[in-house]
Structure 1
Amino acid sequence: MSETNNDQKKYEVVAKYIKDISFEIPTPDSFVDAAQNLGEYSTKLELNSNPHKNNLIAIDCNFKLEAPQTIQNKIHAEVCISIIFKLTDPKMTAEEVKKIVLVKIPTDNFEYMKDIITSLFQKTGFTNFNFNKQIDFEELYKQQFAN
């Protein structure tokens, strides 16, 4: 619990919002095929961070739905959720900031992002869609910076 309190003193989330949405469903056949084969699509997540003035950092979490080669009538869906936070501890090391950006913020806000993605897909017509994929940001961080 003390780690959470320490992290909360190091940063403060200022805003969370949908930055960009793209649903491309070219034909009715594409919609029907996607609805029947949505489980075969893969989900990719890209994180990008951008520093701004006044110790603000924006993390863009870009979710992309990608169809396998075997599906002929494909849809394209991409949702970018931005999380803006402010660094409040001037004594943080670059390593601490990197871990907050790549692990702490995405982990703490992942349920929020999953709820948005599930809701958007359901409102787009994919009523049975439920984004239930789990991502271990700590493990990804360790894999990326093992060397």
Structure 2
Amino acid sequence: MTENFKILAEFIKDISSETPNIESYIYVKKNISKYQLNIDINSKPLKNKMIEVNTTLKFEDKEYNETKSYFEIIYASVVKIDESVKDKKELEKIILCDVQNKIYPNLEKAFLNLLHNSGYPEIKLDKKIDFTELYKQKSN
């Protein structure tokens, strides 16, 4: 099957690592297993069948406490949609699934670099995000 979109550009739009003090750093080092990865995808139309897709990864402690760190990356992709794509569902699948599957290796690498360079070299993202499965769940 030929692709009905083309990624024209990918870049880090915003990146953030916040560890306010040494107490937070030590606490997070011990409790990093409580942290959860959240993903959010939004898009905005540009001209000429192009769309800016912003994929946000956040890695944070769900429990409220004073001593915590916060990590976030917003990864932007500029996508040109083929003229043949007319259906809203098809466009949604391209944005939420197909584009994500293509950009995720670069996004994950950039995000892991952020975490490692923030003093947490032992962090690995064990579970690969299955965008196809997430899209199917959302559609049902």
TM-score normalised according to structure 2 size: 0.91
The answer on 1:128 being equivalent to 2:122 is yes
Is the contact made by 1:114 and 1:132 (CA closer than 8 Å) also made in structure 2? no
Distance 1:53 1:70, change over 3 A: closer
Q: For residue 131 of structure 1, report the CA deviation from its aligned partner.
A: 2.5
**Which piece of structure 1 moves more, 123-132 or 74-83?**
123-132
Consecutive unaligned residues of structure 1, counting only runs of 5 or more, are: none
Consecutive unaligned residues of structure 2, counting only runs of 5 or more, are: none
Give 4+ residue runs of structure 1 displaced > 4 Å after superposition.
Answer: none
Question: d(CA) in 1 for partners of 2:88 and 2:63?
Answer: 41
**5 Å matches for 1:91-130?**
91-92=84-85, 93-130=87-124
Q: In the alignment, what sits opposite 2:49? A: 55
Question: d(CA) in 2 for partners of 1:118 and 1:130?
Answer: 7
SS at match of 2:8: strand
Question: d(CA) in 2 for partners of 1:66 and 1:124?
Answer: 14
Q: For residue 71 of structure 1, report the CA deviation from its aligned partner.
A: 5.3
CA RMSD of aligned residues (A): 1.5
Question: d(CA) in 1 for partners of 2:65 and 2:54?
Answer: 29
Question: d(CA) in 1 for partners of 2:60 and 2:68?
Answer: 9
**CA displacement, residues 9-34 of structure 1 (integer Å, 9 cap, x when unaligned):** x2111111111112121111101111
**5 Å matches for 1:1-147?**
3=1, 6-7=2-3, 10-69=4-63, 72-87=66-81, 89-92=82-85, 93-146=87-140
Q: Which amino acid aligns with 1:108?
A: K
SS at match of 2:100: helix
Question: d(CA) in 1 for partners of 2:33 and 2:78?
Answer: 32
Question: d(CA) in 2 for partners of 1:68 and 1:99?
Answer: 29
Q: For residue 40 of structure 1, report the CA deviation from its aligned partner.
A: 1.3
**Which piece of structure 1 moves more, 117-126 or 132-141?**
132-141
